[in-house]
Homo-oligomer: A and B are copies of this chain.
Amino acid sequence: MFNQVTIIGCGLIGSSIFKRLKKAGSIKKLITYDKDETVTEVIKKDKLSDEIFDKPSEAVKNSDLIVIATPISSLESVLSSIKGNLKNGSILTDTCSVKKRVSKIFKNVNLKSSICIPGHPVAGTENSGPKSGNTDLFQNRWTILTPDENINEQDIKKVSKFWESMGSKVKIMTAENHDKILSFTSHLPHAIAYNIVQTSMANDDKTKDEIIRYSAGGLRDFTRIAASDPIMWRDIFIDNSSLIIEGIDKFIKNLDEFKKAIAEKDSKKLLEIFKKSKEFRKSIVEAGQDTDKPDFGRK
């Protein structure tokens, strides 16, 4: 695998990567950088990194793999600052949730002697920061790589193996397809989660308190992903806006039809929708993408 790996950005994803790397002991040297000093303090205290730098340009020197796990809004500036210090033939990857924009940024910065392979581990929790990271975050989850056509097969394999060593399954696809699929599986659900919370909060204080108290009827499920990292999600919504807006429009159209079915007491149509939804849930569980324990096994 890689001799020396640098992780830039040590939040939930970055820290889950280096915790797993440390546990596996599969690389010679692990280097980390985070612009937030409190993050660096945690890493230092818990001895999670072999070397900590206070500049990304220093952190990448001699590294074979550089994983940029910052929000996408920081990607361009990170790349500009490390550009001159990259080892010849080093591989760069990222963990952002949108991939067309990442490809564009990699192209714009134009790192001649390094290989850029955009990636996205489809994993996460509602928590942020290095303390939230854990070695099992990527276990049985998918990581999607979206390399350009001109990228060498062997280099893709190296990054694939890296993610497999994280416990992840790896899929290669185009950035376009990634952004389309993720707009359905992740971006639209987050948009909806934020807005159902908004709708609930637009009540007087007494009603809001009661909504919180009786949220176990369904609402609480949505609030988990609505607690995700704000900066990351602002970036995603702005960078994949056209596909997300398209998804929202389709969703509103469905919801309008559903409203009509309720108003008309269209039992047949409602039962058909509910039956199909049950089957869809079953497919997700069968695909190993959710637990089959009732109520997520939550206590």
Which residues of A does B touch, CB under 8 Å? Answer: 97, 122-127, 132, 141-142, 144, 171, 177, 180-182, 184-203, 207, 210-228, 230-231, 233-234, 237-238, 241, 244-245, 247-252, 254-256, 258-259, 262-263, 265, 267, 270-271, 273-278, 280-284, 287, 289-291, 293-299
Question: Do A190 and B218 have beta carbons less than 8 Å apart?
Answer: yes
Q: A195-B255, A221-B224, A282-B227 are in contact. Are A294 and B125 (CB under 8 A)?
A: yes
Contacts of A276 in B (CB 8 A): 197-198, 201
Q: A221-B221, A237-B262 are in contact. Are A184 and B197 (CB under 8 A)?
A: no
Question: Do A122 and B216 have beta carbons less than 8 Å apart?
Answer: yes
Q: A189-B222, A210-B181, A295-B125 are in contact. Are A251 and B195 (CB under 8 A)?
A: yes
Q: A132-B294, A181-B214 are in contact. Are A224 and B274 (CB under 8 A)?
A: no
Contacts of A122 in B (CB 8 A): 214, 216-217
Return 26 A-B CB contacts under 8 Å, by A number: A126-B281, A127-B294, A141-B216, A181-B210, A185-B211, A186-B218, A188-B199, A189-B196, A189-B217, A189-B221, A191-B258, A192-B192, A192-B255, A197-B281, A199-B254, A200-B280, A220-B284, A220-B290, A221-B224, A223-B280, A223-B290, A224-B296, A238-B262, A238-B267, A244-B262, A290-B298
In whole angstroms, how far apart are the Cα atoms of A181 and B213 in the complex? 10
Q: Mostly helix, strand, loop or mixed at chain A's interface? A: helix
Q: A141-B216, A213-B289, A221-B222 are in contact. Are A188 and B196 (CB under 8 A)?
A: yes
In whole angstroms, how far apart are the Cα atoms of A201 and B272 in the complex? 13
Closest B residue by C-beta to A260: B245
Question: Do A262 and B287 have beta carbons less than 8 Å apart?
Answer: no
Closest B residue by C-beta to A241: B262
Question: Do B230 and A278 have beta carbons less than 8 Å apart?
Answer: yes
Question: Do B223 and A281 have beta carbons less than 8 Å apart?
Answer: yes
Question: Do A192 and B184 have beta carbons less than 8 Å apart?
Answer: no
Q: Which interface residue of A192, A233, A283 has the most chain B CB atoms within 10 A? A: A192
Question: Do A298 and B294 have beta carbons less than 8 Å apart?
Answer: no
Please tell me which one of the listed residues B124, B185, B227 contacts residue A215 in the complex, with CB atoms under 8 A apart: B185
Q: State the Cβ distance, A240 to closest chain B Cβ, in Å.
A: 9
Question: Do B234 and A259 have beta carbons less than 8 Å apart?
Answer: no
Question: Do B214 and A277 have beta carbons less than 8 Å apart?
Answer: no
Contacts of A124 in B (CB 8 A): 217
Q: State the Cβ distance, A226 to closest chain B Cβ, in Å.
A: 4
Q: State the Cβ distance, A248 to closest chain B Cβ, in Å.
A: 5
